[in-house]
Structure 1
Amino acid sequence: MLNSRLFAVALCLALPAAAQAGDDDGPGKAGLGLAGLLSASNKEDLPPITLSAGMPLADAPWVLKSGTYYEFEIQGDGSQELALTGAEFFRAVWIDEIVVEGLEIRPLGLDSIEFDEAGEMEIGFIALKPGNYHLKVPGSTGDTQRLEITIQ
């Protein structure tokens, strides 16, 4: 409990300084700006995840950088009722929003999602806790039904 409190205090102290500091990516590169970690210069799009019977979830594992804002789509084709679980991953990130058919959801946490029919959702999050994680179709055993994720 004490370690998580210390981490929270350190994060609160470090974020304003990080938002004002310039990037190390080269001369003339602007810092994060007033929105801090949510600034457009800190955002990356990830390849979509596909939920389809017998099809791989993704083409390749994801390698993420802690402190970066990411967005990705989950596309379900309706071929089968499919879920995606990954409680450990969802606890290692801060979810900004989930968008489903133009409706924005701002959850406090997430354990899994499920598609009963065809549809799309977009998830925006900031990677926080370094480590190795995964998202997978529950009950599946094949490697193609699992997306390996590393947060550096």
Structure 2
Amino acid sequence: MIRRLTAALVAATLSTPAMAAPLCDDMGFAGLLAACNRGEDINITLASGKPLGEDVTLQSGAYYTLVIEADGSAELAVEGASFFRAIWMNEIVINKIEVRPMAIDSIEFDKAGVVEMSFIAIKPGTHVMKIPGSTGETQQIKFSIQ
């Protein structure tokens, strides 16, 4: 009986998926939003004919800020439904106005401006954010959530 119970516990332990640890041990009252659980800011520049940036690796459960800045050289947007569904958005700040959306598909800039989005990475996998209608590798960024 003890052998069966031990075997069952070992099997259950081995079959459970590995969990990502938060960036800090003692997050306190703020939980996942604690300052010690924040990853580095992610910066994307939208400019006509220029690459969006380099691919990014995120840790599930960590808090990040994504800053998208358009230089106004063209009317440009970024879309990434898969990415936006793989995160929990805390807020999006546009012209010092805070928006707390349930979900978004894209962000479009008609002229120069900055959008800051704070979020917690949730769903592991590789998610793409790109300029709509583009096919080039430099016109997209891959977010790998581990």
TM (normalized to structure 2)?
0.82
Matched, 1:92 2:86: yes
Instruction: Give me the identity figure in percent.
Output: 52
* Stretch deviating more after TM superposition (141-150 or 45-54): 45-54
Q: Which amino acid aligns with 2:129?
A: L
State how far apart, in whole Å, the 1-side matches of 2:94 and 2:120 are. Answer: 19
Q: List aligned pairs for 1:1-152, cutoff 5 A.
A: 23=25, 31-58=26-53, 60-152=54-146
Residue by residue over 1:91-136, the C-alpha shift from the partner in whole angstroms, topping out at 9 and shown as x without a partner, is: 0100000011111110011110000000001000000000011100
Q: CA RMSD in A?
A: 1.5
Runs of 4 or more above 6 Å deviation? none
How far apart are residue 47 of structure 1 and its match? 3.1
Residues 40 and 65, structure 2, Cα contact 8 Å, conserved in 1: yes
Query: Helix, strand or coil: the match of 2:116?
Result: strand
Query: How many pairs were matched up?
Result: 125
Query: Highest relative contact order (Cα 8 Å, sep 6+), 1 or 2?
Result: 2
State how far apart, in whole Å, the 1-side matches of 2:40 and 2:92 are. Answer: 14
Q: Which amino acid aligns with 1:127?
A: A
How far apart are residue 141 of structure 1 and its match? 1.1
Highest Rg: 1 or 2? 2
Residues 76 and 109, structure 2, Cα contact 8 Å, conserved in 1: yes
TM (normalized to structure 1)?
0.79
